[in-house]
């Protein structure tokens, strides 16, 4: 689906009809693009379940949403730490107990540009642990419920996937030899998008009724770097974002499109289409070949099953 087919404006939330009766699950939804995606979906009548790490921020975000959209909007949250596999399992169990259907799981939560190597309790480099392994496990645990709804899985990636070393560093996954904030972040986002495309291939091979879509927000004014980056990078981004970035709401449009737009082709990358895909109308982006490397993706899939102790018969 090229941007031109959507007109000069590309995709906008005006294309969404009523979402009454539909349920959307979003990770990392208490600020930034995740919060704005929640706002858009709720405004169309959907139910939204946020999966966030911080309960206090989640309660504050829900209060803000209810204040602007009305006290009767159906929004709730479940506590999850994507960097702790036990937490992911507990959160998935709670969600399955309380949510009958999932029309889309939006894997939006992320950390970025961690200045020094930081390891999760499960022994993963933190960005790979949160951005990929956490979402891999969550998606696997929720997959049957999503399939029962003939739902969707949305991977919110980043154009960093085609930067850094442009490969999964299987021989040194945690960058023990030479850690850099950029290379480790780029690897984590490559893992995420490769997982999305490999999952779609496996779904099609088994004839299951689930769509997987991969997107990125472009350059958007969110708190992503403010949480984990070095002081220098925080200062640089706070200055540059005022000049080059779009709003968090615009950054949310690609993931909302991927969760709601009918007839959206899979095995594509969606995001802003102007200024090197950083801002502008939302549509299809050119996809770097590395994202579709089947051999690397299959190896990553097997490794992810092993690292997360997940049994997933796809």
Q: Which residues are catalytically annotated?
A: 185
Q: What's the pLDDT tens digit per position in 164-222?
A: 999 999 999 999 999 999 999 999 999 999 999 999 999 999 999 999 999 999 986 65
Q: What is the mean pLDDT of residues 219-228?
A: 60
Cβ neighbours around 122 below 10 Å, total: 17
Looking at the predicted structure, is the pLDDT value of residue 76 above 50? Answer: yes
Q: 5-9, 18-22, 128-132 — which is least confidently predicted?
A: 5-9
What is the Cα–Cα distance from 188 to 125, expressed in whole angstroms? 9
Query: What is the reported pLDDT for 245?
Result: 60
Q: Where are the alpha helices (DSSP H) in the chain?
A: 32-43, 55-69, 85-98, 126-128, 135-148, 181-206, 224-228, 231-244, 248-260, 294-308
Nearest to 191 by CA among 225, 219, 167: 167
Paired strand residues for 107: 155
What is the Cα–Cα distance from 143 to 162, expressed in whole angstroms? 27
| Residue pair 282/271 in contact by the 8 Å Cβ criterion | yes
Nearest to 227 by CA among 137, 304, 136, 115: 115
Q: What is the mean pLDDT of residues 222-240?
A: 52
Q: Name the 3-class secondary structure at 273.
A: strand
Q: What's the pLDDT tens digit per position in 16-64?
A: 999 999 999 999 999 999 999 999 999 999 999 999 999 999 999 999 9
What is the Cα–Cα distance from 104 to 149, expressed in whole angstroms? 9
DSSP state string for 48-100: EEEEES-HHHHHHHHHHHHHHH-TT--EEEEE--TT-HHHHHHHHHHHHHH-S
Nearest to 105 by CA among 69, 67, 145: 145
Looking at the predicted structure, is the pLDDT value of residue 107 above 70? Answer: yes
């Amino acid at each position: 689906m090229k941007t031109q087919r959507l007109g000069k404006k590309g995709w906008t939330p005006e294309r969404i009809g009523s979402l009454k009766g539909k349920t959307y699950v979003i990770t990392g939804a208490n600020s930034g693009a995740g919060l704005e995606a929640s706002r858009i979906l709720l405004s169309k009548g959907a139910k939204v379940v946020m999966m966030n790490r911080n309960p206090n921020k989640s309660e504050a975000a829900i209060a803000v949403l209810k204040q602007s959209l009305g006290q009767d909007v159906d929004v709730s949250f479940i506590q999850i730490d994507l960097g702790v596999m036990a937490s992911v399992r507990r959160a998935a169990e709670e969600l399955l107990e309380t949510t009958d259907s999932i029309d889309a799981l939006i894997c939006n939560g992320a950390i970025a540009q961690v200045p020094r190597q930081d390891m999760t309790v499960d022994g993963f480099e933190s960005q790979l642990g949160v951005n990929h392994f956490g979402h891999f496990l969550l998606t696997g645990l929720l997959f049957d419920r999503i399939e029962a709804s003939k739902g969707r899985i949305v991977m919110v990636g980043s154009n960093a996937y085609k930067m850094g070393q442009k490969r999964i560093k299987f021989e040194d996954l945690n960058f023990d030899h030479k850690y850099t904030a950029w290379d480790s972040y780029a690897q984590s986002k490559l893992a995420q998008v490769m997982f999305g495309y490999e999952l779609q291939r496996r779904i099609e091979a088994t004839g299951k009724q689930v769509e997987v879509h991969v997107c990125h927000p472009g350059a958007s004014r969110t708190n992503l770097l403010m949480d984990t980056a070095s002081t220098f990078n925080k200062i640089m981004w706070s200055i540059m974002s005022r000049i080059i970035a779009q709003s968090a709401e615009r950054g949310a449009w690609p993931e909302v499109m991927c969760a709601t737009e009918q007839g959206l082709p899979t095995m594509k990358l969606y995001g802003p289409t102007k200024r090197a895909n950083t801002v502008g109308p939302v549509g299809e982006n050119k996809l770097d070949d590395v994202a579709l490397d089947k051999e690397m993706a299959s190896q990553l899939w097997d490794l992810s099953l092993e690292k997360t102790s997940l049994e997933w018969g796809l």
